[in-house]
Structure 1
Amino acid sequence: MAVSARLAALSLLLFVTACGTEPAVNEPLPPPVPVARQVPADMAALVSAIDAFGLDLVTAPALASKTNLVVSPVSASLALQMAAAGAAGETAAQMTKVLRLPEGVRPALPAFDQTDLKLSNTAWVQQGLTLKPRYTDALRDQFGTTMNGADFVRDSDGARGRINKTVADQTAGKITDLFPPDTITGDTRLVLTNALYLKAAWAREFPRDRTKDMPFTRADGSTVTVPMMHNDPEKEPKAQLGYAQGPGYQVVTLPYRGGKLAFTVIVPASIEALRGKGIAEILSQVQPATVHLAMPRFTTRSEMDLKETLTQAGMPLAFTPAADFSGITDDQALLIASVRHKTFVQVDEEGTEAAAATGVEMKPVSAPAFRTVTVDRPFLFVITDTATGAPLFLGRVNDPTQ
């Protein structure tokens, strides 16, 4: 089967999946079919929820204007699940619905068992803020969260720097400045972060001498020249890839070394196919085949605040003074101020390096809006009796020096 320059027709839709199968001992080339096997029912339900949530993100109207868009459904979902673990009432109901969490299944950290993938959850808590034991237990037991103190009140910029450095360290320097200046302030009380990093080699690398410049047709019909990698399916031992096709699209799956990760590309980008079937269903249709594949070498980054996207998706309460996060602390009523999300993906002849981070910033509901007023021009003033409102003095000042 030939899947060559047709990969350039319109655009690419791709995703990396974690596989549940173990490669056979000493097997040099893992099977190309990435469908998870023998996954416990609760974990399968959570993975299905993350699948659906990811599709909601990548098709969100608020993100539609981005030329390239990469999200990490796992990272974004886990960070928000940590916040949702302390939500109650209608706030919890809205978050559960948007995150597509199944009823009766306790959210938890997926049991990714592989050395190529690193996942970290971290909480940063304002000094003196007392979290409820049940909430800290949930962060520790369900999400494996590392707890850190921070002094946002006295040194918000220093706290922001430490959070950003930790995330950068957790992603091998690929995600920097998750929280840009002015996003962490003296009003911040709790920050929850998830960081995900992978670096994996293809089971069969693309020969560099086969990479050639070729045209890529963008969604608007214009073309751009890209370095197009070409595999060598005739090389011994012959390496099959996963292949499937549907109405107007083709699917190719490439396994990474060890067989625990897989890269799948859908061309042309068919959101309709994903919406109709879901990632797991499309992957279940992949079968081993000899595929002549030409695919661009590329690097892409995405950065966004998911507040508007999540509000439009159906969880507005979490961002308003009506939010109910009473499961987190009794000290102050909290709301979500921002949900920062950054991703990085680099695909070349050797393999893939990818990173993602999500940060949920929480502030007190009662935090006053900060305004700056400089009285540096003519002004009026009034002195009133507060009991009656009677104006005792009323004045106009054009020159305070007179």
Structure 2
Amino acid sequence: MKKSWIMLSCVFLLISCGKDSGEEEKKETIIDQSVEQTQNEFAWELFEEVSEEEDGNIFVSPYSVFIALAMTVNGAEAETKEEMMQALGMDNFSLQQLNEDNERLMESLEKATEKITLQSANAIWLNDLYTLEKNFQHHVKTYYSANVEEVDITDAATADLINTWVKEQTNEKIEEIVEAPLDEQLVLMLTNAVYFDGDWQYEFAEEWTVDAPFYGKEETEVAMMSLEEDLSYKEEESFEMVQLPYGEGEMSMYVLLPKEGTTLQEVQDGLSYESFSSVRKEMKPKKGTVELPKFSLTEEYELNDALIRLGMEKAFDHEHANFSNMTTSDDPLWIDFVQHKTFLEVNEQGTEAAAVTNVGIKTMSAEDSDTFYMQMNRPFQFFIMEEETEAILFIGEIQSLAK
């Protein structure tokens, strides 16, 4: 049986699928609350697994990983499919429900306003020697708006074609997803590119940005931004949290800061998605000052072990994985790797964020007061959420910074 490769590459900067401007009016986008909550619980669990392996700054897009795996599960069968659905928290839902809810959620997340841009596109680059299973092709095209383009894998220009597409779709924040020459045994790549650019509703004045210490593993000097505004805020026994909205409040960054003398790890150990949601709902407008470092991050992770710990064992096992619904080939398939790359820039004007998820499939054949003061001069955690759906799009933590 000859060896061949399938790679599913998903490039994400948030989570939306763009539509043609001339398409018919979209159907009503009502999101099942239980599905939405399940996706956020997966986000929380994935972040916890990644943080167990990492010792430093972390920035992931759990929704990017969720969508990448949701597309992949359309090619799975039997116990492989069951384990993947369970790891995604979707074991009580059908694959049809998963796809339909993702389609509606992506449509509801699509945004283009004066202060917020959120756009996305999907493509499948198919080795012209192979054929997709009809159902798999139908699902990824119908629910994830993926266009299938047949390419000559042996042509060096194919890598340039794919990378140019990725670069254009992500406003040059993700410049490369594949390297030439491509493996001649590559069967397909499934690519999703999303771009997000959000201006703060209340911008940090550049003249207020000053050099200040950040007390991480070692003391460093950072460019510290400052804002005085009425903001949604909540103080708990071990931490405080503030909401920094984008645009007209359609999206937000939530910053969680441990109290003095409490470590971020101690707060995280006592915090669940449910308790985070409870605190978020209790936040109320309050006059205060926020000091936030101006920073940028580029991170890269391999998520195999994290996903295996979440229950996706068979999908990575070449002897037991079953992706027979993906191609017309009889060769056994399994997930060889799940890679995740992210980009983030936070400045006085707003935030740009990017993520790349590659799924490679291999085959053979406190007290209240009138004001508050919150200075992020020590390790802190943050979340970027879409407010209407309450979807957690990104989660990060800052352990150390330098100017």
Q: CA deviation at 1:193?
A: 2.3
CA distance in 1, matches of 2:184, 2:220: 46
CA distance in 1, matches of 2:196, 2:361: 28
CA distance in 2, matches of 1:213, 1:64: 32
CA distance in 1, matches of 2:157, 2:340: 20
Q: CA deviation at 1:165?
A: 2.7
Residue matched to 1:65: 54
Residue matched to 2:339: 340
Change (3 A) 1:103 1:328: same
State the Cα deviation string for residues 106-126 of structure 1 (Å, max 9, x = none). 232322131111122222222
Q: CA deviation at 1:140?
A: 1.6
State the Cα deviation string for residues 293-346 of structure 1 (Å, max 9, x = none). 111111011112222322233212222322111112222432222222111111
CA distance in 1, matches of 2:51, 2:201: 37
CA distance in 2, matches of 1:17, 1:169: 15
Q: 2:196–2:352: 8 Å Cα contact kept in structure 1? A: yes
Q: 1:75–1:196: 8 Å Cα contact kept in structure 2? A: no
Give the CA RMSD over aligned residues.
2.5
Change (3 A) 1:310 1:296: same
**TM-score with structure 1 length normalisation?**
0.73
Is residue 286 of structure 1 aligned with residue 283 of structure 2?
Answer: yes
Residue matched to 1:40: 30
Q: Any stretches of 5+ residues in structure 2 without a counterpart?
A: 1-12, 16-27, 259-263, 366-403
CA distance in 2, matches of 1:285, 1:39: 27
Of 235, 244, 255 in structure 2, the residue corresponding to residue 265 of structure 1 is 255
Change (3 A) 1:338 1:276: closer
Residue matched to 2:162: 163
Change (3 A) 1:143 1:168: same
**SS class of match (1:258):** coil
Change (3 A) 1:160 1:317: farther
Structure with the larger strand share: 2
Residue matched to 2:321: 323
Q: CA deviation at 1:197?
A: 1.6
Is residue 122 of structure 1 aligned with residue 119 of structure 2?
Answer: no
Q: CA deviation at 1:192?
A: 2.0
CA distance in 2, matches of 1:259, 1:250: 20
CA distance in 1, matches of 2:317, 2:180: 22
Is residue 359 of structure 1 aligned with residue 351 of structure 2?
Answer: no
Residue matched to 1:151: 152
Q: Any stretches of 5+ residues in structure 1 without a counterpart?
A: 1-15, 19-37, 234-239, 367-402
**SS class of match (1:314):** coil
Q: CA deviation at 1:282?
A: 3.7
Is residue 249 of structure 1 aligned with residue 239 of structure 2?
Answer: yes
Residue matched to 2:21: none
Of 204, 226, 232 in structure 1, the residue corresponding to residue 228 of structure 2 is 232
Q: 1:195–1:355: 8 Å Cα contact kept in structure 2? A: no
Residue matched to 2:135: 134
Q: CA deviation at 1:273?
A: 4.9
Residue matched to 1:215: 213
CA distance in 1, matches of 2:270, 2:149: 42
Q: CA deviation at 1:241?
A: 1.1
Q: 2:298–2:343: 8 Å Cα contact kept in structure 1? A: yes
Q: What does 1:16-55 align with in structure 2 at a 5 Å threshold? A: 40-42=30-32, 44-55=33-44
CA distance in 2, matches of 1:303, 1:158: 26
Give the letter aligned to residue 130 of structure 2.
Answer: L
Q: 1:151–1:159: 8 Å Cα contact kept in structure 2? A: yes
Q: CA deviation at 1:61?
A: 5.3
Change (3 A) 1:62 1:286: closer
Identity %: 28
Q: CA deviation at 1:101?
A: 2.1
Q: CA deviation at 1:102?
A: 5.2
Is residue 106 of structure 1 aligned with residue 98 of structure 2?
Answer: yes
State the Cα deviation string for residues 209-240 of structure 1 (Å, max 9, x = none). 1111111111x3x211111111133xxxxxx2
CA distance in 2, matches of 1:365, 1:287: 57
Change (3 A) 1:17 1:129: closer
CA distance in 2, matches of 1:144, 1:335: 24
CA distance in 2, matches of 1:298, 1:117: 21
**SS class of match (2:36):** helix
Change (3 A) 1:161 1:246: farther
Q: 2:41–2:273: 8 Å Cα contact kept in structure 1? A: no
**TM-score with structure 2 length normalisation?**
0.73
Residue matched to 2:309: 312
Give the letter aligned to residue 148 of structure 1.
Answer: E
**SS class of match (1:140):** helix
Q: 2:14–2:118: 8 Å Cα contact kept in structure 1? A: no
Paired residues, number: 320
Q: 1:85–1:327: 8 Å Cα contact kept in structure 2? A: yes
Q: CA deviation at 1:180?
A: 5.3
Of 298, 315, 326 in structure 2, the residue corresponding to residue 301 of structure 1 is 298
Change (3 A) 1:128 1:78: same
State the Cα deviation string for residues 262-306 of structure 1 (Å, max 9, x = none). 111111343235425265444322222212111111101111222
State the Cα deviation string for residues 159-188 of structure 1 (Å, max 9, x = none). 444333322221111112234578x52222
**SS class of match (1:96):** helix
Larger radius of gyration: 1
